[in-house]
Amino acid sequence: MKIDSETYVVFVAFITSFFAVFLSAGIVLGVPSIANDFGMNNIIQNWIPTIALLVIAVFTLPAGQISGKYGVKKSLIAGLIIFIIASVGGALSFSTESFLFFRVLQGIGIAFLNVSAMAMVVQAIKPQNRGKALGYTVTGIYLAGSLSPVFCGFLVYNFGWRSMFYFVLPFLVLCLILIMIKIPGEWKTYENSKIDSIGYVLYGIGILLFIYGFTNLMNTMGIISVAIGTILLLIFAYYELKAKSPAFNMHLFKNMKFTSSNIAALCSYLAIAAITTILNYHFQYVRGWNAQLAGLILIITPIIMAIMAPNAGKLSDKIHPQKLAALGMGIATVTLLILIFLDANTPLYLIVIAMILQGIGMGLFTTPNTNAIMSSVPPNETPNASAAQSAMRTIGQTMSLGLLTLVFAWMMGSLKLSSEYAALIVQSSQLVCLICTIICIIAIFASLVGIKSKDSFNLER
């Protein structure tokens, strides 16, 4: 049976999306072992999962312009090569400094993978199949979120933390070979544009200071960092409006479908990303379960998301994608309303129902919302649209964890997380869920605004 190039595009996008998330999510299981090997203190240890997210946020927009200028396929190849080198380097690291350096390099590679894979799917797949293809790509993200704790926990326990980095290599190499051999052609949209170095610097420093400061708002330096970061991002936006070859085309935000879908994406990840951590704390510290049992229960939501995503993608090719997105966020809001009352006496079946609703809601939201973002721009702006949705996801996830940290620090001070302080953990978790419920409602309204917008979707590729 002959496999066409579109099938290879979807397969490569699925695998790259899977492993971009797989190592980012799974490395948490190896943090204690890594910290022990390199003698890291608690502060440095916490940077192991965080530093890659920060780097992804910084490099996402530059990756959009670079992939558009030099070619989406070339950028995907470059991202894979960087990721492969970083994975080998991470496995062979001999010190804290060398390990964190390769984590930074991984973040750069993942930023290019996130942007290029999504852009390639949109540009290579026929419009009538775009939602379905995007659905499979998003499924890779959800499957990685559900399977990485199980796989990485097994690898770390039986073969050591370095095995996680070796495990991804064959799959990345396979994708590299398939791209070069089985996917013909190239997609360039900004070939005659100049690289906007000033824009990159303004955005990179601005977003770095903003996110770092947001996670440290309890300190004066955190507040100062947020203020400076916000100012730099505003300067970046103004500069981009005037630039001849901007790092990001700010004029895209004139399209309300594009703008509303991006706002909805940011709010959704900000509201939902902390739920897994809250439930993990509840299972282990409040109920006293071990990590293995907690992990098995936590698989419920991402598995349902993985089932829902491709089907929601198909639906978004036939039904207004923002209608599906609004419905999905409405269901996700019910999850948070349930979890506001989460305590030691909450029946397990009610928690499972909340997790199922979360999976259905986010499964209905993410793929249609992504389709709305990617379909609301002209064909030549696809890399920018891909960069925008990737940036919203990364920034939202990072800020969600920052919100969790802020609330717990405010409610618990410097107390150590343990079953001894279960009551404070419950109160902190309830407050986070209350705040996230409000953010979820904002995401619903953002989608509704997009539905009412007179701007139209671009159905030609």
Question: What digits encode the pLDDT tens for the residues 219-277?
Answer: 888 899 999 999 999 998 888 888 777 767 788 888 888 888 889 999 998 998 888 87
Residue 163 and residue 64 share a domain = yes
Q: Is the pLDDT of residue 417 over 70?
A: no
User: Mean pLDDT, to the nearest integer, of 147-157?
Assistant: 76
Last residue of a domain, which of 162, 184, 206? 184
Asked if residue 217 has pLDDT above 90, the reply is no
CA distance 335 to 314: 24
What is the model's pLDDT at position 461? 41
Q: Are residues 321 and 441 in the same domain?
A: yes
The CATH number linked to 99 is 1.20.1250.20
The answer to whether residue 106 sits within a structural domain is: yes
Tens digits of per-residue pLDDT, 68-119?
Answer: 777 888 888 999 999 999 999 999 998 888 999 999 999 999 888 888 877 7
In a domain, 191, yes or no: no
Out of 118-122, 275-279, 357-361, least confident range? 118-122
Whether residue 411 is contained in a domain is answered as yes
Residue 430's domain comprises 251-461
97 and 120 together in one domain: yes
pLDDT at residue 133, as a whole number: 75
Same domain, 221 and 339: no
Read off the amino acid at residue 282. Answer: H
Structure confidence at residue 459 as a pLDDT band (50, 70, 90): very low
Give the mean pLDDT of 54-73: 79
User: What pLDDT, in 10s, does the model give residues 295-330?
Assistant: 678 778 878 887 887 778 777 777 778 888 889 999
Q: Do 98 and 204 fall into the same domain?
A: no
Q: Residues 332, 420: one domain?
A: yes
| Residues 242, 132 share a domain | no
Rounded CA-CA distance 314/41 in Å is: 48
pLDDT at 278 over 80: yes
426 vs 278: CA distance, rounded Å:
9
Highest mean pLDDT among 103-107, 134-138, 273-277, 408-412: 103-107
Q: How many domains does the chain have?
A: 3
